[in-house]
Structure 1
Amino acid sequence: MKDRTGRLQFSFFLYNSLFMSICLSICSGRFVSVVDTESWSWFNFVYFYAVAFSLYFFITFLVQLLLTGIFNIFKLRKTVIVLSLLLDAVILILFLADTFVFNQFRLHINLAMLEMTFLGGGQIVSFSPKMLIEIFGLSAACVAAAVLCVFLAVKLNKSKRFAVTTFVFSLLLLIITNGIHGFAFATHKQNYVEVSEMLPLNKPLTFSKLLIKTGILTKEEVYSTELPGNGKNKKMNYPLHPLVCKKNGEDFNILFLFVDSLRADMLDKEYMPNTYEISKEGIVFKDHISGGINTRHGIFTLFTGLPGSYWFKALSTKTPSILVQALEQRGYSIGAFTGAGLTMPEFNQTIFAGVKDLRLSSKGNNVIERDLDAIRDFEKWAEEKKNKGPFFGFIFLDNVHSAAFPEDTENTFYEPYWKQINHLELNNDFDREPYFNRYKNAVRFADRNIKKLIDFLGKEDLLNKTIIVIGADHGEEFNDNKKNFWGHNGNFTTYQARVPLVILWPGKQAEEVGYRTSMLDIAPTLLTDALGCENPIEDYSSGASLWRDSKRKFVFGSNYSNDAFIEPERIVIINKAGSLDYRLPNNDKASDRDVPSYWKEALKEMTKFLK
């Protein structure tokens, strides 16, 4: 009898998961109703519902096993049924609520959104009496569906053969749909890839490198910069209206000269004497915050003028940055010269998507050689382009990211320095000085390369014809706040988020700007003032003009798992768990835990360019 009871309980879970997955799949149809499915075939719809069914079958099955396993051990059969009923009802209510949230904001529910909704004083949702009645009615329908699921599972739990068949079928379906997604992701089939964004909790597999290694696909196919369907299947609403850019004066060349991992306080006559002297001729922004504390989001926000949260949508749709769109409309030659490759992060498939003959990598046995190769290639390219119309160049030096420099007498300025970096040794008691000295030596070498590039432009008579933007993707921390943070991507404090920004703009006077600016401001400033784009900035960016103090309440920040709103005296983070975390500028916990008054504005900016 003991064994039989266990088998009946297990069958009950399987059947309950079956009926729940059917209910959740039906509710998932609301996600389909708000996206553009004109290009979908019948198989795309089959795939969507197959993903929904298999995914939610196993999610509900595992949740039940985890939370009701203890009751099964003690043979409390009725308790198991009651608890399953409560779980089903909660899951259905939250899932249905998520479909309404997704319809309006193109985002899924997380703990932060719930906190903003119920503690934000009606900033996101104000509950009218009519709305409360509708919520009650929908919740009652979810409870009724949960009761039906449990009732049918109890009735059928003796039929164990069909239960096992259901489990095997769902498992095979999960494997097949993940296989389809992995291949579709590698071959840029947007209709399949976007399903992962539509369905909550869906994290399907990708295996592009495996497909290359096995010879199923080539690198050219996986890392293609061509837009899918010549752009016809683009799913971002970016820009909101067609871009209109016309010649409005002299067509200056534009050069981005960026250094990976260069923190703001390095722009100093001691650490970067050459760049410091160069900056005296330009406009220096003293409080410039990157849109990301890693390379992916820092460079993405630079070119797009969008918060970093748009990265994955831009990647899955292969949507080019607004800056590249404007440059191409104006007939600029576009070249990228980076020490590190453009395929990881996939800048070739996001910011530069669609650009022909894009240079993807540099040659060399180490980061120093690759940086020098990028510089040589740029100089050769610029010489060829200088009398053939305006050009845009992106130079991205990588040696500071690796704290690499030629370790000889000529290039060693700070001693003692850490001879061999071993990140396993880093802790809160580690003496940072040798490591920081190595970093500063690398900065001095990058400073020498910047001077080399500026001297080249002067020799080629290009300085007075080129807008030069000198900056960095993110900063670098060396346990500055004594909280054992090293490197970047760890927190949104000044050492990781603040970066140098110098703009040399022919005809503009040198000055220092003290108000806060954002990486999101650079693209719209160039589009408006250099490329003659007539659209209002709100049409294509969440940034503002660099030339005036926007008196903004916050600037956007992102890393691989968090979105941040960096205020002057506080940092509000949507963390990995999806809840709100409040920090001071030194990363201590903030006592002010009031819901931001700008939340609705921020949410709008994070979703308005999605279809």
Structure 2
Amino acid sequence: MVERQKQIGRDRVSRLVSWGHWFAFINGLLAIIVGYRYLDTIGLPDTFIGWGYLVISTIGHFSFLAFMVYLVLIFPITLLLPYSKILRGYAALVATLSLCLLLYDTVIYDDYGLHLSPFVFDLAWADLNALLRGTSYIITPMAILAIELTLANFLWKRVEKIRKRNIGNKVVAVVGICFVASHLIHIWGDAAEVTEITHFDDAYPLSYPATAKSLMESYGIEGTQNRKDQTPPKTSLKYPLAKMQCMADTQPNILIIAVDSLRADLIDASTMPFLASYAKDNMNFTQHLSGGNQFNSGIFSLLYGLQGSYADAVDLHFQSPVLTQELTSQGYQLALFSTQDTLAIPQGIFNDFERIDAEHTDSFAHSDLQSVANWQQWSKAATKPWFSLLNLKSPESYDTPIGFLGIKTVKAATELKPAQKVLFNQYRQSLNFVDKQLEQVISTLPSETLVVITGVNGKVFTSNSNEASVNLSPASIHVPMIIHWPNETSGKQVNYRTTHNGLVPAIMTQTLGCTNPASDYSSDQSLMQPSDKSWVYVGDHRIFAIYQESEITVIDRHGKYRIYDNDYRKRLKKKLSAPELIEVMREGRRLYVH
């Protein structure tokens, strides 16, 4: 008798487990239906490869999520309380909450471009009224609960018939194959840079597709496709928002000198005497911020005029900046002078430039000398109005040429560790070398040339690249912005805060005669006037900071955030400033087509 009761108990648990598996599978299908809203946000693929990957990855991902919910929240209750009525009601409630959470995530993703995290939840809670419109937030959960209860009871009555058909193993095999195949295809797509596959990397919540580019390359398996050679995917970014209306009265030559790792606080008479004097004689923006602390985010904001969250937009791998497009249409000759193998994201950023690269061996200082010589030769031979970008890299690696006679060491204005003191003075030597190159370039230019001298990003004194990559302090963001406008010789110190994003609108309106509002093609207005925003976005989509009047909020890709004071020293124990951060998130989605 006891043995029979144990057998009955085991049969009941077995039936409940079988029912739970099918309940999880069908909820995976329901999750796919809800998850279709993500595709409304990012757009559907146009190719067979894109559709094939999307179908198998969607089936594999949402089935996996549904099974994880079952395994963590429902399966243990099956063993503890093996009673069908209790389990069916509980499972229906769990499934309803899960689908509602997924549905809420689709709303947030459509509005902010981010999935739920502690940071995003705080933000969305403050913006709840705008996100949840009407009464659907009440009706929808009730409708889902009714569907789940009906589904739970329907499956329970038919679970034995389903078990007898022996199709469970086939379903598991299909789902398993989809899950594994989607990751294998993504490994290939990532290595071959197939944007129709990688376009969906961040589309679904808790999605971490496998990548193995370095492993494949170590075995000699290289991507055969290049983004420039591929057909652009369906456009999801409208950049610019309207057709550009531009008509210039004159066509001055334009030179932008962008120096890697150029801090604003060291543009002084002892370190960079020429640039310090040049700043006094021209327009000097003393509170200028780069778009990021790395080359990619800094140069992106400088040329596109957009905040760094747009840098990973697939469309921009095929679309050059509006600035260079307009310069090309107005007949300018464009050239980029940098070091060999200088790459930037997105890949379309330099498409309009003729690249004249300096060879890089073991010294960026030697490469900079060659870049300056290349620029001088090219500018003398130019037969049309020209726009050139001269990128100097020495300060990034504290480099000076062999035999360079530098300047005497000084004590830093702030407290530094012993190792930092060495880097500080070596950095000053590099800046002094760059200063002499700037003098050589500028002294040969006619006054009617528009000249912009700025830093791509700032510099923190560390030899640890990982530490530098996550440091978004003013030292790594505050850079000089010095502009010589043609035929204007009087110096002007501008003390309101400006950003790299404001340079493109300034050139477009002041020089190229564009009448479009800056919001059509930029995340900021012209730096010739104070911004009406109370915040500045710096960084990329992985880690970024929001600079406000009295605090700096740093947020990583997982939604963890820390709030610092203006000196980036004291961590403040306070909540996020929701209104400004909501504006930041909305700006990061403003140019996407919905």
Change (3 A) 1:257 1:159: farther
CA contact (8 A) 2:455 2:480 kept: yes
TM-score, normalised via structure 2 length: 0.84
> Which letter does structure 1 place at the counterpart of 2:61?
L
Residue in 2 aligned with 1:65? 71
Change (3 A) 1:356 1:504: closer
Change (3 A) 1:34 1:562: closer
CA distance in 2, matches of 1:281, 1:369: 30
Deviation, 1:530, is 1.7
Task: Select 2:487's aligned residue among 507, 517, 526.
Answer: 507
Q: Deviations over 1:526-584 (max 9, x none)?
A: 11112222211111111111112225311112245234321110224444333664432
Deviation, 1:76, is 4.4
Residue in 1 aligned with 2:262? 262
CA contact (8 A) 2:340 2:360 kept: no
CA distance in 1, matches of 2:509, 2:195: 32
Considering only CA atoms, is the larger Rg found in Structure 1 or Structure 2?
2
Residue in 1 aligned with 2:138? 136
Task: Select 1:367's aligned residue among 357, 364, 386.
Answer: 364
Change (3 A) 1:443 1:205: farther
CA distance in 2, matches of 1:160, 1:579: 48
State yes or no: 1:494 paired with 2:474: yes
CA distance in 1, matches of 2:387, 2:217: 32
CA distance in 2, matches of 1:173, 1:32: 19
Residue in 2 aligned with 1:424? none
Mind listing any 5+ residue stretches in structure 2 that lack a counterpart? 1-6
CA distance in 2, matches of 1:512, 1:96: 51
Change (3 A) 1:7 1:367: farther
Q: Secondary structure at the match of 1:544?
A: coil
Q: Deviations over 1:496-546 (max 9, x none)?
A: 222222122222332111111111111111111122222111111111111
Task: Select 2:106's aligned residue among 87, 99, 109.
Answer: 99
> Which letter does structure 2 place at the counterpart of 1:269?
A
Task: Select 1:376's aligned residue among 370, 373, 379.
Answer: 373
Q: Secondary structure at the match of 1:379?
A: helix
Choose 107-116 or 262-271, whichever is displaced more: 107-116
Change (3 A) 1:439 1:77: farther
> Which letter does structure 1 place at the counterpart of 2:66?
T
Q: Secondary structure at the match of 1:265?
A: helix
Residue in 1 aligned with 2:244? 243
The count of aligned residue pairs is: 576
CA contact (8 A) 2:89 2:149 kept: no
Choose 292-301 or 317-326, whichever is displaced more: 317-326
Q: Secondary structure at the match of 1:196?
A: coil
Residue in 1 aligned with 2:440? 455
Counterpart mapping for 1:73-222 below 5 A: 75-77=80-82, 84-103=91-110, 107-120=114-127, 122=129, 124-125=130-131, 131-132=134-135, 134-147=136-149, 155=159, 162-185=167-190, 189-207=194-212, 217=222, 221-222=225-226
CA contact (8 A) 2:334 2:388 kept: yes
Residue in 2 aligned with 1:605? 587
CA-based RMSD of the aligned residues comes to 3.7
Q: Deviations over 1:361-397 (max 9, x none)?
A: 7432333333333333333333332xx1122222222
CA distance in 1, matches of 2:424, 2:166: 64
Residue in 2 aligned with 1:47? 53
CA distance in 1, matches of 2:423, 2:40: 55
State yes or no: 1:414 paired with 2:396: no
Change (3 A) 1:28 1:597: closer
CA distance in 2, matches of 1:148, 1:473: 60
Residue in 1 aligned with 2:3? none
Task: Select 1:389's aligned residue among 371, 384, 391.
Answer: 384
Counterpart mapping for 1:535-546 below 5 A: 535-546=516-527
Choose 591-600 or 172-181, whichever is displaced more: 591-600
CA contact (8 A) 2:253 2:448 kept: yes
Residue in 2 aligned with 1:474? 457
CA distance in 2, matches of 1:492, 1:185: 29
CA distance in 2, matches of 1:515, 1:381: 36
CA contact (8 A) 1:181 1:192 kept: yes
Q: Secondary structure at the match of 1:350?
A: coil
State yes or no: 1:297 paired with 2:297: yes
Residue in 1 aligned with 2:508? 527
> Which letter does structure 2 place at the counterpart of 1:174?
F
CA distance in 2, matches of 1:333, 1:192: 36
Residue in 1 aligned with 2:4? none
Deviation, 1:152, is 6.8
CA contact (8 A) 2:305 2:505 kept: yes
Change (3 A) 1:436 1:69: farther
> Which letter does structure 2 place at the counterpart of 1:351?
I
Change (3 A) 1:8 1:567: same
CA contact (8 A) 2:235 2:315 kept: no
Q: Secondary structure at the match of 2:457?
A: coil
Change (3 A) 1:380 1:46: same
Deviation, 1:356, is 6.2
Choose 286-295 or 185-194, whichever is displaced more: 185-194
> Which letter does structure 2 place at the counterpart of 1:567?
Q
Residue in 1 aligned with 2:559? 578
Q: Deviations over 1:177-203 (max 9, x none)?
A: 334444445555544433334433333
Q: Deviations over 1:126-170 (max 9, x none)?
A: x66xx23x2122112333444466557763796797444434432
Deviation, 1:270, is 2.4
Residue in 2 aligned with 1:350? 348
Change (3 A) 1:381 1:303: same
> Which letter does structure 1 place at the counterpart of 2:294?
N
CA contact (8 A) 2:400 2:433 kept: no
TM-score, normalised via structure 1 length: 0.82
Choose 55-64 or 545-554, whichever is displaced more: 55-64
CA distance in 1, matches of 2:114, 2:327: 31
Mind listing any 5+ residue stretches in structure 1 that lack a counterpart? 418-429
> Which letter does structure 2 place at the counterpart of 1:258?
A
CA contact (8 A) 2:536 2:548 kept: yes
CA distance in 1, matches of 2:192, 2:465: 38
CA contact (8 A) 2:237 2:313 kept: yes
> Which letter does structure 1 place at the counterpart of 2:477?
A
